[in-house]
Structure formats: C-alpha cells, structure tokens
Amino acid sequence: MNKKITLLVFLFFAPFMFSQEVSSEYRYKKEKNKSGWNFTEQDNIILYSNNTFLRTYSLQYHEVIKFQEKGTWEMKNNTLTLKIEYKKVEKWIETEIFQYYKVKNKSIIQLDNFNENRKLKKIN
C-alpha cells in the first residue's frame, strides 16, 4: 500500500519536475493554392527558459521538406541569436550554425537574404 501511494505522488509531481518552462513561442504559417498544387510553409521556434530552443520547419509543395533544429539561444540588443547544435532531417547530426533574428514588438524577422518577408509571430 505504501508503494502505491508513493508511486501516485511521484506520477502526480513528475510533469512539474521534468518539464521545461517555455519562455516564448514564435510561429509562421503560409498557405496557397497554386495551379492545383497546395503550398504550405510552417516554421515554429520554441524558446525555453533554460536558454535552449527547438525549431521545426515544414515545407510542402511538389515534395515535403521537414527538419528540426535544437541548440541554445541568446538575446542582445533586440537581436535573437540561435546557435544550432543539432539538426534532424532523418536522424540527429551535430552542426554549428548561427542564425540571427531581429526582434520587433511581438514578432521576429530572420536576418538573411532568403527570407526577408517572413515574420514569425509570438504566440504566448
């Protein structure tokens, strides 16, 4: 009986002990229908309070492209810096890539030449 009570108490408090606290979450979603093809692009970035992040990207057009990235983040002078340490396309591989975002009000804009018009909006 004592073991059952201990197990129930542990199961009740386990989510609080092992979960990560989300600092903020940003999301971008674009959908279009181009001449019979559905175009969908999604980009999600979750920033955790312990300065780690998880980014999930998905693009569906003629083919499906999906990947995940995780690493650490840092905020200085309204610039969000993501240090990507692991990338998963089919399996996790180690990388060392930096991405920079400009923070504006409740959105972030990626600072590179390819995605100038893409704003990720803050959800929470």
How many Å apart are CA 98 and CA 80, to the nearest integer? 10
CA angle 91–16–49, rounded 5-degree value: 65
- CATH number of the domain bearing residue 117: 2.40.128.640
Choice among 88-92, 95-99, 106-110, 112-116 with the minimum mean pLDDT: 112-116
Kindly report, residue by residue over 17-58, the tens digit of the pLDDT. Answer: 555 688 889 999 888 887 778 888 899 999 998 999 999 999
Specify if 3 maps to a domain: no
Specify if 1 maps to a domain: no
Specify if 7 maps to a domain: no
Specify if 102 maps to a domain: yes
Specify if 93 maps to a domain: yes
**Structurally, how many domains does the chain consist of?**
1
How many Å apart are CA 97 and CA 82, to the nearest integer? 8
Specify if 101 maps to a domain: yes
User: Domain of 29?
Assistant: 21-122
pLDDT of residue 32: 87
Q: Three-state SS string across 39-54, please?
A: EEEEEEEEEECCCEEE
Kindly report, residue by residue over 52-86, the tens digit of the pLDDT. Answer: 999 999 988 878 889 999 999 999 998 999 999 99
